[in-house]
């Protein structure tokens, strides 16, 4: 009887240790993305937008940091194989056309699955997209922003902080995005005041 009890206790201890190991392994796997980078979530409103630098289909470089304190930026994380992205492409272009004349606005499309710049140029032509489409090789920026669903749109204010996040596309998305962009453009100063006008200066 004592031997049987000892065996049962031993089995329970082994099972417990296996369970602990499994939980640790499962947690580690869930916190990692391909390439060993830590998992991230879609940014919340008020979070600082992660800086990045990418090139468009023509090889021109675009840096989010360069636009801080200058422009409101709409980032559209999309895919060349996403049917919803293609269906919403006309709405994306309408948003761009509405604000393209405003020097304080920029809109970039980030594509992580386009094989090369030539394919990205063709996608832009086929879908009549005239705003910059950036090649996000291996979707690293998309992963860093946690944009698992396409399209995901992230509106970044001039202060470099996230003002709005839209995942997917619905009939109301275009209207809501326009309202958010208008609010961002109206509520943020074009540039910080000159140093001589700052309190304690001059």
The 10s digit of each residue's pLDDT in 46-87 is: 999 999 999 998 999 999 999 999 999 999 999 999 999 999
pLDDT over 70 percentage in the chain:
72
Taking only the tens place, the pLDDT of each residue in 24-46 is 222 222 222 333 333 345 678 89
- pLDDT surpasses 80 at 192: no
Mean pLDDT of the chain: 79
Q: For residue 60, with 0-12 CB atoms within 10 Å meaning exposed, 13-18 middle and 19 or more buried, which class applies?
A: exposed
Mean pLDDT of 108-129: 94
pLDDT score recorded for residue 199: 37
Strands 53-56 and 61-63: antiparallel
Nearest CA to 110 among 157, 75, 154?
Answer: 75
Nearest CA to 91 among 171, 199, 202?
Answer: 171
Distance CA 58, CA 55 (A): 8
User: Edge-to-edge strand order for the sheet containing 53-56?
Assistant: 61-63, 53-56, 133-135, 105-111, 72-78, 152-156, 162-167
CATH superfamily of 53-187: Glutaredoxin (3.40.30.10)
- pLDDT surpasses 80 at 126: yes
pLDDT score recorded for residue 143: 92
């Amino acid at each position: 009887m004592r031997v049987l009890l000892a065996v049962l206790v031993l089995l329970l201890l082994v099972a417990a240790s296996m369970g602990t190991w499994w939980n640790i392994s499962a947690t580690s796997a869930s916190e990692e993305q391909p390439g060993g980078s830590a998992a991230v979530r879609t940014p919340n409103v008020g979070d600082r937008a992660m800086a990045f630098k990418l090139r468009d289909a023509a090889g021109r470089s675009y840096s989010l940091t360069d636009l801080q304190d200058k422009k409101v930026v709409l980032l559209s994380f999309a895919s060349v194989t996403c049917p919803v992205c293609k269906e919403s492409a006309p709405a994306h272009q309408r948003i761009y056309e509405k604000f393209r004349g405003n020097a304080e606005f920029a809109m970039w499309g980030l594509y992580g699955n386009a094989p090369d710049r030539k394919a990205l140029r063709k996608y832009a032509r086929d879908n009549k997209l005239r705003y910059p489409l950036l090649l996000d090789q291996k979707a690293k920026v998309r992963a860093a922003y946690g944009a698992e669903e396409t399209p995901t749109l992230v509106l970044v204010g001039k202060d470099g902080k996230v003002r709005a996040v839209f995942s997917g596309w619905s009939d109301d998305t275009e209207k809501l995005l326009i309202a958010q962009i208008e609010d961002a453009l109206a509520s943020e100063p074009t540039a910080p005041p000159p140093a001589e006008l700052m309190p304690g200066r001059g």
